[in-house]
Structure 1
Amino acid sequence: MKDKKMSIKTSILWNTWGSLVYLGCQWLLSVLVIRISGFENSGILTLAMSITNMFYSIAVYGMRTFQVADTENEYAQGTYVISRIVTGGAAFILCTAFVAANRYDQVSGISIVIYMIFRLGEALFDVYAGFFQKYWRMDYLGKSMVIRGVAMLGSYTIFLGIFQCLPVAFGAMAVSTFLVILLYDRRHVKRITSIKFDGNFKKVQELLIRCFPLVVYLFLNAGISSIPRYFLEKFSGNDKLGVYAAIAAPTLVVQMASTYIFNPFVTAFAEKYHAGDRDGFWKLLFTCVKVVTAVSVVALAGAALLGKWGLLLLIGEKILPYTGLLLPLVVCTILTAFSWLLCGVLTVVKDFKGLIISNVAAVVSGSVASVIFIRLWGMQGTSFATILGLTVEIVLLFVFLQKRIGNSAALSRS
């Protein structure tokens, strides 16, 4: 017997709670690595995160929103799982090739590859999370994120503390992630829907082709923040990247919290768009914007008033010369939250052309700015380049969204 759907309010609360716990655990990875083994290993961790972000986008293929919005069940649930295995394999091969081409030192290279295996676990979870979200059982999703977060952080801390070796710690994280998926997520997904694969590989191919614009957009979107950090490591080394990451870690709460607030509304956006409810669509969007804005104001105020004290408490006196990096980084995360919101909405309305054009413009402008700004202003230039790229993206995304909703409204009246 399948489980019943939960209310939207209850689902959102569970999703928010689980997401915040998992986000907190991820944030502690960056804090603990400095406490346990210093800025150099922090730089390697940040490099691994930045590089794998690009290839993680290939693994998830931008399919989560498409999956949740597939209210007509055009594709079988097993088709989504098989497609994730295919994209995950491709992402791992490409990541490994990238590491080999860049000739990183042995520790950095192995760390990136093993961290990518951990990210593949997150990508596999993402498809199960899509099932939980689609059928409004985000209590399962929230509980899973709590379990995975605690298991990930615990295994990382124990193995890093004992062996003082990042690849070993990353390997422990990967094992714990896959175990939670196997023992918890699969079992609970089966309680709400069937995930058996029907053997139709043509449908898998068709799904991958249809979602290809999404993976292109997502890959580009990941590059907006990852490319400036890539150049920072190239120009200044792992130590500077580690310092930058240490300051950036607390600010991620803003963009991730905003994303978790938006994600449960994906189905509602899809329903209003397909029903031609233009006013309801815009009202829902502006509600999300107001929430993100409120979170942003609190974050800016908190960073201005308590940022220096908080960084000193978390990292120690060695971070004090760099606290000026904090406010621009908070602005980066706020803009990232707004860009993710608009990208998600454009995905719902299937304006893939607008997504790709906006993100190409952001990546190009941000990359050019990185080369110039980092040479001029060092670590601060990394934030300035990211801010420029995100601003370009947000403006273009909003223009494309207005055009798309206007056209859909005109069609619904005809």
Structure 2
Amino acid sequence: MEKQLRRNVLFNTAGSLIFYFCQAAMNLLVTALAGVEANGLLATAMTIANVALSAASFGMRTFQVSDLSGKYTDRTYLFSRYLTVAAAWVGCMGFAFANAYSAQQRWVIFLYTGYRLVESFSDVWHGYLQKAERMDIVGVSFGVRGLVTAATVVAGLLLTRDLVITLAVLLALNAAYVLAVDLPLARKRADLAAKGGAGVGALLLECLPLAVYASLNTAIPSVPRYYCERLLGRVELNYFANVFLPVLVLQVAVVYLFVPFITTFARLWQGRQKAGYFKGLRILFAGLFLLWAAGAAGVALLGRWGLSVLYPTTPEILNYAGLLQPLVAATVLTVAATVLCNLLTIARAMKGLIVGCLAGLGAALLASPALIGAYAAWGTAYATILGVGVQALCLLACLLLRCKKQFAAV
């Protein structure tokens, strides 16, 4: 099991990072190969598709893989995903037609949203693989589809110079991989013939707080950025975002690193294994401290050099290098909050999730105008730290209260 866990961590982290980097590179590739106007079309589609992806996923993945008692069957999870993906795609296109977009923009929205919803559709199948401790297969899937994404964008735009055709091929290839590879492998680990248990409606209703939490969780770090743009302008927000980008890679990597351990924590929780569970928590928080120490040391030694390498045409960004240290702190707190949200989902502490996210959102809303007004772009980082920090503390308090009840008789 330990060998398989190491394999899961390695493949899932590597594959997911490849997928993340390739998606992040799409804007750069489209701008270079098709021009700024085409990238503007894609940027609009990305904003809308992110909302659709969140709605389609319904915050359900951790809930699914931690349903060790089989309250809901594998068929129920699958049928619920059919509904949420279809509703998200229809809602997305309804929004596109309700606004005065051009026909080309609507096609870009339709195809790019479809491409992202393939990710949401595959997510439920990946849940079956995760419960079977085969996150290595999931990592390979993400890695392959990430490379396919980058290669398709480059080849499609070089050959056709047409963003719509390129996105159509991208959607088709990603869907084909999921249908031809992921589904057969996941179907072997799923029991789609089993019936009984609660139905789709009950599942969606029970997971509704998770969907709400997902929206609130996204809003917390977005609030300081909103006030940064409103109070300081787009140029300052651009510098803030560019400095944050290399730090964000650290955040994404660590979150993906934790994913294979969700099943382990679920088994410890379900089995009321108090000693093992709290040992896992201690290791987790020790790891977060080491992450902060390594990140802080790394940006102190290499931060300015790294920014100069990433942005050679804008040397003025070095004036914002001091942002790196508070952004490392914000990143570690964000990872802590994300992990705690997963642990509360395993514990089925839905109220705790909502309370923690509302507290963080309230702190960010109250603090952002004052901190940004006083400290400019640095205030954006401080407001992010405050919002996510309050969220993490509230989530931790809720988790410890839930643990006290769960392990009371142990």
TM over 0.5: yes
Whether the 8 Å contact between 1:47 and 1:230 is mirrored in structure 2 is: no
Whether the 8 Å contact between 1:62 and 1:218 is mirrored in structure 2 is: yes
Which residue is 1:393 aligned to?
391
Query: Is the aligned partner of 1:118 residue 2:115?
Result: yes
Query: Is the aligned partner of 1:138 residue 2:135?
Result: yes
Which residue is 1:291 aligned to?
287
Q: Which amino acid aligns with 2:132?
A: Y
- 2:284 match: secondary structure: helix
Q: Which amino acid aligns with 2:280?
A: L
Query: Is the aligned partner of 1:75 residue 2:100?
Result: no
Which residue is 1:384 aligned to?
382
Q: Which amino acid aligns with 2:186?
A: V
Distance in structure 2 (CA, Å) of the matches to 1:361 and 1:186: 40
Residue 333 of structure 1 and its aligned partner are, at CA, apart by 2.1
Distance in structure 2 (CA, Å) of the matches to 1:156 and 1:312: 27
Within-5 A mapping of 1:104-115: 114-115=111-112
| CA pair 201-75 structure 1, distance change in 2 beyond 3 A | closer
Q: Which amino acid aligns with 2:297?
A: A
Q: Pairwise CA RMSD of aligned residues? A: 3.6
Q: Which amino acid aligns with 2:335?
A: A
Correspondent of 2:259 among 260, 263, 285: 263
Distance in structure 2 (CA, Å) of the matches to 1:106 and 1:394: 44
Distance in structure 1 (CA, Å) of the matches to 2:315 and 2:31: 10
Q: Which amino acid aligns with 1:119?
A: R
Distance in structure 1 (CA, Å) of the matches to 2:137 and 2:194: 22
Distance in structure 2 (CA, Å) of the matches to 1:333 and 1:68: 26
The C-alpha deviation readout for 1:196-247, integer Å capped at 9, x for no partner, is 696x897111111111111111111111223444555566776665554433
The C-alpha deviation readout for 1:275-317, integer Å capped at 9, x for no partner, is 2222221111221222333333323322232233223323322
| CA pair 149-345 structure 1, distance change in 2 beyond 3 A | same
Residue 134 of structure 1 and its aligned partner are, at CA, apart by 0.4
Segments of structure 1 that go 5 or more residues without pairing to the other structure are: none
Residue 381 of structure 1 and its aligned partner are, at CA, apart by 4.1
Number of residue equivalences: 408
Q: Which amino acid aligns with 2:207?
A: C
- 2:212 match: secondary structure: helix
Which residue is 1:277 aligned to?
273
Which residue is 1:312 aligned to?
308
- 2:129 match: secondary structure: helix
Residue 258 of structure 1 and its aligned partner are, at CA, apart by 1.5
The C-alpha deviation readout for 1:176-201, integer Å capped at 9, x for no partner, is 33222122111211233344696x89
Q: Which amino acid aligns with 1:78?
A: R
| CA pair 38-301 structure 1, distance change in 2 beyond 3 A | farther
Scaled by the length of structure 1, the TM-score of the pair is: 0.83
The C-alpha deviation readout for 1:321-347, integer Å capped at 9, x for no partner, is 364344433333222111101111111
Residue 34 of structure 1 and its aligned partner are, at CA, apart by 6.5
- 1:211 match: secondary structure: helix
Which residue is 1:183 aligned to?
180
| CA pair 197-404 structure 1, distance change in 2 beyond 3 A | closer
The C-alpha deviation readout for 1:363-390, integer Å capped at 9, x for no partner, is 2322344455556655544433322210
Q: Which amino acid aligns with 1:247?
A: V
Distance in structure 1 (CA, Å) of the matches to 2:157 and 2:235: 19
Whether the 8 Å contact between 1:35 and 1:315 is mirrored in structure 2 is: no
More displaced 10-residue stretch of structure 1: 172-181 or 236-245: 236-245
Distance in structure 2 (CA, Å) of the matches to 1:5 and 1:71: 20
- 1:192 match: secondary structure: coil
Within-5 A mapping of 1:9-408: 9-29=6-26, 32=29, 52-96=49-93, 114-159=111-156, 172-195=169-192, 203-230=199-226, 232=228, 242-318=238-314, 320-321=316-317, 323-324=320-321, 325-374=323-372, 379-408=377-406
Whether the 8 Å contact between 1:37 and 1:164 is mirrored in structure 2 is: yes
The C-alpha deviation readout for 1:87-133, integer Å capped at 9, x for no partner, is 22333344456667887899888766654333212111211211111
- 1:7 match: secondary structure: helix
Distance in structure 2 (CA, Å) of the matches to 1:36 and 1:327: 35
| CA pair 340-187 structure 1, distance change in 2 beyond 3 A | same
Distance in structure 2 (CA, Å) of the matches to 1:392 and 1:258: 20
Whether the 8 Å contact between 2:71 and 2:198 is mirrored in structure 1 is: no
Segments of structure 2 that go 5 or more residues without pairing to the other structure are: none
Residue 393 of structure 1 and its aligned partner are, at CA, apart by 0.1
More displaced 10-residue stretch of structure 1: 128-137 or 178-187: 178-187
